[in-house]
Amino acid sequence: MDRIKVGIIICDRYRTCAGGKCLRALRNREGAFSIYKNQEVELVGYTTCAGCPGGNIEYAPEEMIKNGAEVIHLATGLVVGYPPCPRLTCFRDFIETRYQVKVVLGTHPIPQKYLLVHERLKTWDSPHGQALIQPTLTDEKTRLAYD
pTM score, whole prediction: 0.95
pLDDT tens for each residue of 100-111: 999 999 999 999
pLDDT bin (cut points 50, 70, 90) of residue 1 is low
CATH number of the domain that residue 71 is part of: 3.40.50
Tally of structural domains, the chain: 1
Task: Give, rounded to a whole angstrom, the gap between the first and last alpha carbons of the chain.
Answer: 32
Q: Show the domain range for 7.
A: 2-145
- CA-wise closest residue to 32 among 114, 125, 109: 109
Closest among 37, 64, 67 to 49, alpha carbons compared: 64
Q: What is the pLDDT of residues 47-98, one digit of tens each?
A: 999 999 999 999 999 999 999 999 999 999 999 999 999 999 999 999 999 9
Sheet of 102-105: strand order equals: 39-48, 2-10, 71-74, 102-105
